[in-house]
Chains A and B, each alone.
Chain A
Amino acid sequence: MRKVAVIAGAMNKWGERQATFRDMIAEAGKLCFDSCEGLRPKDVDGLLLSTAFVEKNQFQTHGAPLAAELLGIKPTNLIGKVELLCASGTTAIHLAYTHIACGYSDVVMVVGVDKLFLPDKRETIWNLQASCDRDFDCIHGLGVPPPLFAMMAKKHMKAYGTTEKQMAAVAVKNHRNGSKNKYAQFQNVITMEEALNARVIVNPLRLYDCCPVTDGAAAVVLACEERAKEFTRDPVYILSIAQANTHKNSANMPSLTTWEHVVIAAPKAYARAGITAKDVDVAEIHDCFTISEIIETEDLGFCKKGEGGAFVEEGQSDFGGTVVVNPSGGLLTCGHPFGATGERQAQEIFHQLRGDAPNQVPGAKIGLQHTMSGFCSDCSLTIYGRI
């Protein structure tokens, strides 16, 4: 297996965009090329597009050749589209990594996009009902599911004494981080009082407990070690990847308060990278809801099971704590255009480890990316390092 590095990465401006998904692929692709001096489309021999909703929302299938054409890339080794809902981008990165590691491609761009703001907002909410088990879960009005995470929050509170204030602490932290990210959807700092008094979305989740609807794109370029060194003196290497999936239908989820797919995948990711959870300096993890970040910090091994609430409340996931979690502002403030979140997390870790992130974690050497998708069905982990 060859070593694989990230040599470029960027996101475009996320939010409610006056732009098509095609425009956004071009924007993110340009910024990605711009992040690596000398890298041009002709240097790229593979392209993977990740998107979850372009087929439903924009009526466009076969999107990868379109993305390649928009970015002037003529792949000679790899072309395709990857979909795993919210983890589409991370999965695409994993597949590009594997292809390069095996020697089938040398330089692959992975670009993610989704456009979720449509003229009638009800349309995306309707299409979201394609995301769960359509015949057996979506018939109940379940989409990408705030109700599920509300249930998780209730159960985690009951099992471990987690509080609404601890959930709000995630939102306050991530909004403070996001305020330094000009590409994030929101730059507003919020107070604990504002978070605790915001309107209820699905009890006990309030407005700031939930990530927003977002348009956005992001891209990274992966390369084999030899090619990486042509373009940059300080590549960020992918140290390991790991995934696990436990279910699709809601009835088949093993536990709402312990995410078994994380428990399965995280030890593999650490072992393959030759590290432990304690070695992680910076983590971009899937805070689709505040309770998600709390459960993930537990199941990723950053803290003990049941102590995720206290972990964030005591500042252990903030600057100066055990591990800085979501310095980009996370999904809560960057937003969550499903197919682009994986690349968005990856480019944040890339810049963190290169030392040029807008909200830099001092001296970060090891970074972790965690993405979850669907009805909390699966876990996709990537560990990056400067070695």
Chain B
Amino acid sequence: MKDDIYWSSIDLYPLQSEEHNRIAPFYQHLRENRFTTTRCTRCGAEPWPPRVVCPECMSDQLEWIDLPVTGVLDTFTIEEVGVPLGFERPLVHGLVKINDRLTLFSRIVDAKLEELKEGMTVTLKVIPIPRDRVIYAFTPA
């Protein structure tokens, strides 16, 4: 394969721009350090992850709402073996409780392992990735 060819089928990360993805605003919000999902304007459901159709009532009239950008580290674990290519080892995985309804599995970055504690506050960390895209993780506050 030529070096200048990009094939999305072997890319770990999704295409994020409006040209390719109808939830492109989620990624735009991340760039503004906002963590968002969609709310159904008909029934009020706030599913995670964001949608283009409400899974509760099938409405497609959705609006973007902000979720908290800080959360509580409920549990964490440290992966020593089998860390995928492109991720640093050890890889810290956390369950981050961001509100009463939503606990997210997330990578915990920029953390000193000895300082990690259940119950500590963590905050959103937006990370640039190739092809002008972003992903999110959480980091100790």
Query: Closest CB of chain B to A325's CB: distance in Å?
Result: 26
Q: Which residues of A lie under 8 Å from residue B107 when comparing CB positions?
A: 140-141
A: contact size bracket: 20 to 34
Residues of A within 8 A of B84 (CB): 122, 125-126, 128-129, 141, 143
Contact status A135-B77, CB under 8 Å:
no
Shortest CB distance B118–A (Å): 9
CA–CA, A146 to B137, complex, Å?
A: 19
The complex places the Cα of A231 from the Cα of B79 at a distance, in Å, of 50
CB distance from B5 to the nearest CB of A (A): 16
Q: Does A387 contact B (CB under 8 A)?
A: no
Interface assignment of B93: CB less than 8 Å from any CB of chain A: yes
A128 contacts across to B, CB distance below 8 A: 84
Cross-chain contact B77 with A252 (CB below 8 angstroms): no
Chain B residue numbers with a CB within 8 Å of A141 are 79, 83-84, 86-87, 91, 93, 107
Q: Tell me if A249 and B75 are in contact (CB < 8 A).
A: no
Which chain B positions have C-beta within 8 A of A197? none
In the complex, are the beta carbons of B135 and A139 less than 8 A apart?
Answer: yes
For A250, the chain B residues whose CB sits under 8 A away are 104-105
Q: Are B87 and A251 in contact (CB under 8 A)?
A: no
- Identity of the chain B residue whose Cβ is nearest the Cβ of A134 in the assembled complex: B14
Query: What 1/0 flags go to A111-148 for Cβ under 8 Å of B?
Result: 00000000000100110110001111111111100111
Verify if B130 is at the interface (C-beta below 8 Å from A): no
In the assembled complex, how far is the CB of residue A307 from the closest CB belonging to chain B, in whole angstroms?
22
- Tell me the complex Cα distance, A202–B12, Å: 22
Residues of chain A touching chain B, judged by Cβ–Cβ distance below 8 Å, are 122, 125-126, 128-129, 133-143, 146-148, 150-151, 154-155, 199-203, 249-252
16 contacts between A and B (CB under 8 A): A125-B84, A129-B84, A134-B12, A139-B12, A139-B135, A140-B107, A140-B137, A141-B83, A141-B91, A143-B82, A146-B82, A151-B93, A199-B80, A251-B49, A251-B103, A251-B104
B contact residues vs A (CB 8 Å cutoff): 12-14, 48-49, 75, 77-87, 91, 93, 95, 102-107, 135-137
Q: A141-B83, A143-B84, A146-B79 are in contact. List 7 more A-B contacts (CB 8 A).
A: A138-B12, A139-B12, A147-B77, A202-B78, A249-B48, A251-B103, A251-B105
- Top 10 nearest A-B pairs (CB, nearest first) are A250-B105, A140-B107, A147-B93, A141-B87, A150-B77, A135-B14, A136-B49, A139-B135, A202-B79, A201-B81
